[in-house]
């Protein structure tokens, strides 16, 4: 597979950790998921060939499945849009979306204790202020999914937010909607993925306002934004076999990286393993190949 690090189209509007965004009209945008990869909120110098194709297609898949829960910003995949006369590699990674007024809250839902939640639990016995049982093992399922929002940082690391802080940012009603809809989407996706042999341990979502309506935006339930575990290999008390970027997290930690720029180059083996896991996630969830 070829790799795209940056998209060099005219009128770049925004370059995020992974996505490059371009204006199409007054109310539409072209968002291209590149093959860049970030861990611990830092973009790595290495790319994962074809990753952007997986992200765009799997987001489209989930947007369609969840459209009866909440509307989303996707109009169509760029490859299906007749107006765009651009390179086919960009088309495969692109999405044409409605322009939204972004809500600057990263809506994180955790169904299982892992990652930073496990680290916090080991230190203080709580997760994001929630009291926890005292005998949890790494990878255990929470009694109920936890809503643990964070900031949406333009630069540097996202920081945890309390619900009171979210309410101060967006108001009580909107904070409640963000929590309830995020958990509803997570529960729906968790049950669907179980039937495909995948456990969704946690995920993060973004929302915006379009014509006065709360709307899902950005990406949805991808291997970038979620932890996908292999149901057949699931066993609490250890790191789980996965279909996401855990290989990358584990390798940079083993290399002694301090999670601050600059990040190290990835070995070819880690790139290939990560690419394979992303493709497997797409195949298992959708039944399709790329």
Q: H or E stretch including 201?
A: strand 198-210
Residue indicated by tokens 């495909």: 196
Residue-wise pLDDT for 14-61, tens only, equals 999 999 999 998 899 999 999 999 999 999 999 999 999 999 999 999
| pLDDT at site 155 | 63
| pLDDT at site 281 | 98
Distances (CA, A) of 51 to 5, 151, 157, 218, 273: 11, 25, 22, 16, 12
| pLDDT at site 157 | 73
Question: Residue 72 pairs with which residues in a beta bridge?
Answer: 216
Q: Hey, is 232 helix, strand or coil?
A: helix
Residues of the chain with CATH 3.30.470.20: 102-244
Tokens found for residue 108: 């994180």
CATH 3.40.50.720 fits 102-244, yes or no: no
Strand extents, DSSP E, 152-225: 198-210, 213-217
| pLDDT at site 26 | 81
CA neighbor of 285 nearest in space, from 216, 182, 197: 197
Confidence at 154, pLDDT banded by 50, 70, 90:
low
Residue 109 above 90 pLDDT? yes
Residue-wise pLDDT for 241-265, tens only, equals 999 999 899 999 999 999 999 999 9
Tokens found for residue 37: 């990869």
Question: Residue 14 pairs with which residues in a beta bridge?
Answer: 21
Residue 156 above 70 pLDDT? no
Residues of the chain with CATH 3.30.200.20: 14-99
- Asked whether 30 and 96 are in contact (CB, 8 A), the reply is yes
Cα maximum dimension of the chain: 58
CA neighbor of 28 nearest in space, from 111, 85, 84, 90: 84
pTM score, whole prediction? 0.95
Residue 225 above 70 pLDDT? yes
Cα gap 144→127, rounded to integer Å: 13
Task: List CB contacts of 221: < 8 A, sequence separation 6 or more.
Answer: 58, 59, 62, 185, 189, 200, 203
Distances (CA, A) of 244 to 5, 84, 225, 252: 19, 31, 9, 15
Q: Roughly how many angstroms between the first and final C-alpha of the chain, as a whole number?
A: 10
CATH 3.30.200.20 fits 14-99, yes or no: yes
| pLDDT at site 25 | 84
Average pLDDT, the chain: 96
| pLDDT at site 152 | 86
């Amino acid at each position: 597979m070829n790799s795209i690090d940056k998209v060099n189209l005219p009128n770049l509007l925004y370059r995020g950790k992974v996505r490059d965004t371009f204006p199409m009209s007054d109310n539409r945008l072209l968002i291209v998921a590149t093959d860049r990869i970030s861990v611990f909120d830092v973009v790595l110098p290495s790319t994962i060939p074809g990753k952007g194709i997986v992200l765009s297609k799997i987001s489209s898949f989930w947007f369609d499945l969840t459209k009866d829960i909440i509307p989303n910003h996707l109009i169509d995949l760029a490859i299906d849009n007749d107006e765009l006369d651009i390179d086919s590699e960009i088309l495969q990674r692109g999405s044409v979306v409605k322009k939204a007024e972004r809500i600057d809250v990263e809506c994180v839902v955790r169904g299982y204790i892992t990652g930073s939640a496990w680290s916090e639990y080991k230190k203080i016995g709580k997760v994001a202020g929630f009291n926890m049982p005292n005998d949890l093992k790494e990878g255990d399922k929470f009694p109920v999914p936890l809503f643990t929002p964070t900031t949406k940082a333009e630069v540097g690391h996202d920081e945890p937010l309390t619900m009171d802080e979210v309410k101060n940012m967006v108001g009580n009603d909107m904070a409640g909607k963000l929590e309830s809809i995020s958990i509803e989407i997570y529960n729906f996706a968790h049950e669907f993925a179980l039937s495909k042999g995948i456990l969704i341990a946690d995920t993060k979502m973004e929302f915006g306002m379009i014509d006065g309506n709360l709307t899902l935006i950005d990406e949805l339930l991808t291997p970038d934004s979620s932890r996908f575990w292999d149901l057949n290999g699931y066993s609490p008390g250890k790191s789980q076999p996965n279909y996401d970027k855990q290989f990358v997290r584990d390798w940079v930690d083993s290399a002694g990286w301090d999670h601050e720029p600059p990040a190290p180059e990835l070995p070819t083996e880690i790139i290939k393993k990560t690419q394979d896991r992303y493709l497997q996630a797409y195949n298992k969830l959708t039944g399709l190949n790329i």
